[in-house]
Structure formats: C-alpha cells, structure tokens
Amino acid sequence: MADFNSDFWHWYIAVATVISILACVWLLRWMTSGFEKGEEVESTGHVWDGDLSELNNPLPRWWLGLFYITLAFGGFYLLLYPGLGKFSGILNWTSVGAYEEEVAQMEAEVGPLFARYQQTEVLDLIKDRDALKVGERLYLNYCSTCHGSDARGARGYPNLRDRDWIWGGDPQSIKATLTNGRIAAMPTWEAALGGEQGVDEVTQYVLSLSGRASIEQLAAKGKAKYDIFCVACHGPEGKGNPALGAPNLSDDIWLYGGSITRIAESIARGRAGQMPAQLERLGEAKVHLLTAYVYSLSQQK
C-alpha cells in the first residue's frame, strides 16, 4: 500500500497530465497546418452517391477556437484546483474543507436556535410545535433510514411510536441511547438447550408468556430450561430488563418477528443489534432536540 503513496505516482500523474494537454495542442496545430488560402483541397477518397466526395478541409476557426479554449480552461483549472498528483492548487481547495466551511456557515445560522432548545427541558419541548418540526427534520435526515420515515421501524429496528422500549422510554434513557448508542446481544442457545428439541420447548414456553396458544407439554419442559438459561436477563415472568436491553417477552411485541419460526431462530442462533452513537456526529444540542421528538412520538394518542 505504501507504494501507492510514493512520490513516483505524484510525478507520474502530474507529468502524464501536462504532456497530454500539450500533446492535444500540438495535434491541433499539426492537423490544421499546411493549408494555404485558395489552395485546392484534396479529397480523402471517400465518395457517396457517385459524386459526393469528402474533402480534407481544415476545421472552421470557431470550432478550432473552442478546442483551444477547452485546453486553456483545463490548464487554468489545474493551476487553481487539485488534479496534478499531490499539487493542491493555488486555491488549496479540498472537498473536506468545502464541507467544513458549509457546516460552519450552517452552524453560525442555526446554532443560536439549537442552543435555545438545548436549555429547554424535554417535557417542555414536546409542547413546542416549532421545536418538534425541527426535531422531525433531524429525524428524517439521520434516523429514518433505519426506523422508517413514519418511525414505525422494521424487523430488527424498533418501532419508536409505541411504548415498548428495550432500553427504557423515559427522556433520560432515550437521550442516553442517542448519545452513547447501544449494543445488544442475544447469545446462541441451541447447543446449551440440547439442540432443536430444546429450542422448540423454550419457544413454546415463550409463546405462553405472552398469552399465545402453545403446546402445554413442550411449554412445561421449556419453562424448566427457561428458568436456567433465560431468567437472568428476561426475568421470571418474561418482563425483560431495560438495564440489560433484554426485551419484554410477555407483551407480544417482537423486534425480529413473532412467528414461531422467528422466535425459534432468535433462541437458536441469537441476535446482534447496534444503535450507533450520535453525539459526535450531531452534537449535544441536536441530540437533546431529537430526544424530545422521539419521546413525543410515543406520547401521541
């Protein structure tokens, strides 16, 4: 990899680019030289329809001028902007610098607004329609890819409009989730449960926790295994534990799908989910406003 960062490639690109431009200039001059005004023009030998000949006429001056203007523009551009190897151009322009400049300009314009919102409590912000409109735009820009434009989530991505929260749904917990992110891990249990039969038994018991129809004999055996392997995280009644990110199994709300097949798959193979931390990307003020917006979604009737 270091070979591609050596000065050889800088000079290779720079010299090849300059030579290419100069070669185009030479080619234009060579192709248009040797013509005298009034001189009879030779035929190229291509004839159509018996008497329609292609003549070796020079390019019109206006057309030739466009070629020269294009080459001059290319040379001038390469003096001002990056393009010749590691040469950064007279203006020292970079895409990163342009982005940072745009961000700084935007922060200067909207920074005071976000600062004001940051000083307002979440419970007061959810009553401010203007603040929620700004929060909605933040959500659509940064969160809708995973949770959907309507915030109802998808398989593996929580619904933010209900009141079923894996890590807690109070403003403090939501803000902690947005700030630091979350990493959830459901271990694989197939081997520990004794294979497919044990997975089926625990699946039947988990179904019974939410009041769904289950096979009693399998569920009874599944309860014994549940009390050994699952109770530490999900609790004796399957209510879950927000401190651990262990879902509530008794409310019949399923992040990865609630069919028998999906539940058995979760038990057998485990699940791994991650919510990225947003503080570094958004800053405290935007995280605070997003907290208020997300919290407001679950408070709507």
Tell me the torsion sign for CA atoms 115, 121, 126, 127: negative
pLDDT in tens, 172-193: 999 999 999 999 999 999 999 9
Q: Looking at the structure, tell me whether residues 71 and 133 fall in a common domain.
A: no
* Residue 239 placed within a domain: yes
Which tokens go with 225?
């295994």
Q: Looking at the structure, tell me whether residues 81 and 2 fall in a common domain.
A: yes
Helix (H) or strand (E) holding 273: strand 271-275
Q: Looking at the structure, tell me whether residues 164 and 140 fall in a common domain.
A: yes
Neighbouring C-beta atoms of residue 195, cutoff 10 Å: 11
Residue-level pLDDT at 37: 66
Does residue 277 surpass a pLDDT of 90?
yes
* Residue 172 placed within a domain: yes
pLDDT in tens, 281-300: 999 999 999 999 999 999 98
Q: Looking at the structure, tell me whether residues 174 and 142 fall in a common domain.
A: yes
CA nearest neighbour of 296 among 196, 149, 170, 165: 170
Q: Looking at the structure, tell me whether residues 171 and 291 fall in a common domain.
A: yes
Asked whether the beta carbons of 292 and 132 are under 8 A apart, the reply is: yes
Does residue 270 surpass a pLDDT of 70?
yes
Residue-level pLDDT at 235: 96
Residue-level pLDDT at 151: 96
Q: Looking at the structure, tell me whether residues 224 and 176 fall in a common domain.
A: no
Q: Looking at the structure, tell me whether residues 289 and 166 fall in a common domain.
A: yes
* Residue 35 placed within a domain: no
Beta bridge partner(s), residue 55: 43
Residue-level pLDDT at 44: 79
CATH number at residue 136: 1.10.760.10
* Residue 40 placed within a domain: no
pLDDT in tens, 23-69: 999 998 888 776 666 667 777 778 888 778 887 777 788 999 999 99
- Give the mean model confidence (pLDDT) for residues 116-141: 95
Which tokens go with 20?
């290419």
Rounded to whole angstroms, the Cα distance separating 174 from 297 reads 12
Does residue 1 surpass a pLDDT of 50?
no
Rounded to whole angstroms, the Cα distance separating 39 from 61 reads 17
State the Cα torsion 218-223-224-225 to the nearest 10°: 90
Q: Looking at the structure, tell me whether residues 200 and 75 fall in a common domain.
A: no
Number of domains in the chain: 3
pLDDT in tens, 44-55: 778 888 778 887
Residue-level pLDDT at 43: 78
Residue-level pLDDT at 209: 96
Residue found by looking up tokens 């749904």 in the block: 169
pLDDT in tens, 133-151: 999 999 999 999 999 999 9
* Residue 133 placed within a domain: yes
Does residue 257 surpass a pLDDT of 80?
yes
Mean pLDDT, rounded, of the chain: 92
* Residue 46 placed within a domain: no
Q: Looking at the structure, tell me whether residues 15 and 72 fall in a common domain.
A: yes
Structural domain including 110 reads 102-180+282-297
Sequence-ordered list of residues with C-beta below 8 angstroms from that of 153, at least 6 positions apart, any chain: 146, 147, 159, 160
Q: Looking at the structure, tell me whether residues 88 and 207 fall in a common domain.
A: no
Sequence-ordered list of residues with C-beta below 8 angstroms from that of 203, at least 6 positions apart, any chain: 222, 260, 263, 264, 267
- Give the mean model confidence (pLDDT) for residues 88-112: 90
